[in-house]
A and B are shown apart, each in its own frame.
Chain A
Amino acid sequence: MHADPKGVLTGVHFLDGDHACCEGTLAAGARFSAGYPITPSTEVVERFALRIPTVGGIFIQMEDELAASIAIQGAVWGGAKAFTVTSGPGYSLMMEHIGYAAMTETPCVFVNVQRGGPSTGLPTLPAQADMMQARWGSHGDYGIIALCPNSPQECFNLTITAFNLAEEFRVPVMMMLDECVGHMTEKVTIPAAEKIEITPRRFTKQPASEYRPFKPTEDLVPEMVQAGDGYRFHVTGLTHDERGYPSMNVEVQDSLVRRLQEKLKPLANGRALFEAEDLEGAEVVVVSYGITSRVAQRALQMARERGIRAGKFRLIQAWPFPEQHIRDLAARVNAFVVPELNLGQMVHEVERAAGGQAKVIPVSHAGGGVHQPEAILKAIVEAAAL
């Protein structure tokens, strides 16, 4: 299916990451958003509020982040493609509803423009410190997808990908921007609507009498319906059987919760989204994402000028973590260098996947700015000397 031209601002633009992300939501077919103001993310919904009345949809500013993050799910079950936008403290408040979306398999998108934390932290300055929260922030076992753009163009492109993956896997998808990427202004090319692929909702073709709302199909994802179509279906955050009815049966819990994770397996390996450069023959590989990947690019150049065979592995998709790729690389490189704007989050995943086959050197930063390329270079040099 192609994008609806009404939402696609085809052309070449000069946009910041937040605005580009908004254009991505419109191109992807989102016609409902609920938000609550928080720096540095508000520009996404400000633009949506400006654009949507002429496209045909609704933005509602809710009374808090809990309301925003559940209103979008009501809208999804009403038939909409919907998203909300927030940053650190608001993201913390949304955790319960990320769990609800995961449990009820409600396809929706959460945009988090990360800022320094913990608590109110650094409202206007960058960090990448919500990466683990994105994966594990709500209680219980579940799976999500998280994407990390590193430019306004990618904010646009990946937002469309986020909506498509949400529909394909019926999961909440996290767009993990950071303040720098959100506020960085660059050229953004928006293609014609017919060049934009849109994944349609997996509506069932079964009649109401046979339809089971949470019966998995072959790829473990159930088919969906929307309210008002006569299916009289039930949705609950309680552990539920294939009919959607609450159950306190241990086997029902086991098969449901395992499936919520297992349905995402294809993304962990074969279909993982990443950008690789000079991995062939590399002695050191820098694993980075978001704004840090752009600082790392300079460090990689400097390292290569010094004759170090340094490769790049950029996480476009942080979750599910592309563990097989890192494991394969670990067998043939000296070390990984993992710079990130936190005191060590994705680096633990790299360590886990590397499984002791290669050394893993973190380059941490508490946030509020970005790394100096020299700091990353120093780690690369150290790694090359191993």
Chain B
Amino acid sequence: MSEMECLMEIPEDAMNPVEPFLRMDRIPHIWCAGCGIGTTVNCFTRALLNSKANLDKVAIVSGIGCTGRVAGYARLDSFHTTHGRAIPFATGLKLANPELQVVVYSGDGDLFAIGGNHFIHAARRNMDLKVVCVNNMIYAMTGGQTAPTTPGHATTSTAPYGVSEPAFNLVSLAEAAGATYVARWTTFHVMQLARSMEEVFNKKGFCFIEVLSPCPTLYQRRNKMGDGLETMKYYKKASKIRNGAPTSECGLTKDGEIVVGKFVDRDRPDYLALMRTQMVETLGDRYAEPEIACCETEEVCSR
């Protein structure tokens, strides 16, 4: 069958099930062939679909970088903020409008180098945010520089003789800082990733999902690790699902084992619950529930 015949067999109104979740007028996206970010977005749309979340009440916040562009493609209230500051922006958004489910979707450099401090403090506070980190182990948007997640011995544009500094173990960091939910998958594990993303829509508190994703253009190629497909094969071969594994034992290396799974799923009161309890305890009847959002039409602004 020729290519043309193939195309003609698709009915005119045919639609990919993810389309309603995307700004189709912005497609094609900017990501390279073989990049894993699109795969994670596909999982995310499936999670939105399955979670039955009211999409008008889901907001997505990104920082800067390749993954930072996710917010712009999601057909949700979406915010492309400054480098590293997606989490504090999301904090203000959530506190002003607590009925929103706020997702932070960004990359490893954004969330853990320039934004690292915000990550640990939001986790400490147990801010009710769902943080998805697409970890491609490199600064991709700027051309392949060393990230705090680049494993030792890997070569980057700013470490042409190999990286000598140790990398962050993101899942261990998230658990230590207080996250209520911590999971790691690769872009090979699409079903598991979509399920984790769905799970966090029904979870309160600071949730963290790390997704290991290839950057064929700047990481795999420079490190002679093949293309996107080769990376999928590596993810398949090297991954071990170990739900509940101690996160301290889940560090990543350049070409070693990748421990994936759900590591942490615990409950503790989130920021707003803790704040309310403290205020009621101290102020009693004098405490006024926050009414933050501006009103639109009333003669007297009651909020």
Contact = CB atoms under 8 A, between A and B. Distances in A.
Interface string B74-95: 0111111110110011111111
Given A32-B95, A67-B85, A203 B303 contact: no
B296 interface: yes
Contacts of B97: 78-80, 226-228
Of B59, B283, B288, B292, chain A has the most CB atoms within 10 Å of the CB of B292
B121 A63 contact: yes
Contacts of B301: 1-4, 29, 198, 200
A306 interface: no
Interface stretch (A172-180, A229-237, A271-279, A320-328): A229-237
A70 B85 contact: yes
B292 A78 contact: yes
A376 interface: no
Size bracket of the A interface: 35 or more
A238 B80 contact: yes
A265 B77 CA distance: 31
Contacts of B249: none
B292 A66 contact: no
Of A64, A233, A236, chain B has the most CB atoms within 10 Å of the CB of A236
Contacts of A66: 84-85, 88
A67 B290 CA distance: 21
Given A31-B291, A232-B77, A74 B93 contact: yes
Contact of A232 (B75, B90, B286): B75
Interface string A204-243: 0000000000000000000000111111111111100000
Interface in B256-303: 275, 279, 283, 286-296, 298-303
A288 B61 CA distance: 43
A234 B23 contact: yes
A11 interface: no
B72 A54 contact: no
A97 interface: yes
A246 interface: yes
A82 interface: yes
A70 B92 contact: yes
Given A4-B303, A232-B56, A80 B77 contact: no
Nearest to A29: B301
B165 to A, nearest CB: 23
B96 A234 contact: no
Contacts of B78: 232-235
Interface string B89-122: 1111111110110000000000000000110010
A57 interface: yes
B92 A82 contact: yes
Contacts, number: 198
A73 interface: yes
B71 interface: yes
B294 A201 contact: yes
B224 interface: no
A2 B299 contact: yes
Contacts of B221: none
Contacts of B254: none
Interface string A234-257: 111110000001100000000000
Given A55-B288, A71-B88, A78-B95, A96 B82 contact: yes
B26 interface: yes
B236 interface: no
A75 B93 contact: yes
B288 A60 contact: no
Nearest to A54: B286
A57 B98 CA distance: 12
Interface string A1-33: 111111000000000000000000000010110
A234 B59 CA distance: 10
A56 B291 contact: yes
A79 B96 contact: yes
Interface of B: 23, 25-26, 55-57, 59, 61, 71-72, 75-82, 84-85, 88-97, 99-100, 117-118, 121, 275, 279, 283, 286-296, 298-303
Given A74-B91, A194-B300, 13 more contacts: A1-B298, A1-B300, A63-B118, A72-B92, A76-B92, A78-B96, A78-B97, A82-B96, A234-B72, A235-B78, A236-B79, A236-B80, A245-B72
18 contacts: A1-B298, A1-B301, A2-B301, A31-B303, A34-B92, A62-B91, A70-B88, A74-B94, A74-B95, A78-B94, A79-B96, A80-B97, A80-B294, A96-B82, A194-B300, A203-B296, A232-B75, A234-B79
Q: Closest 4 CB pairs between A and B? A: A74-B92, A79-B293, A78-B96, A78-B97
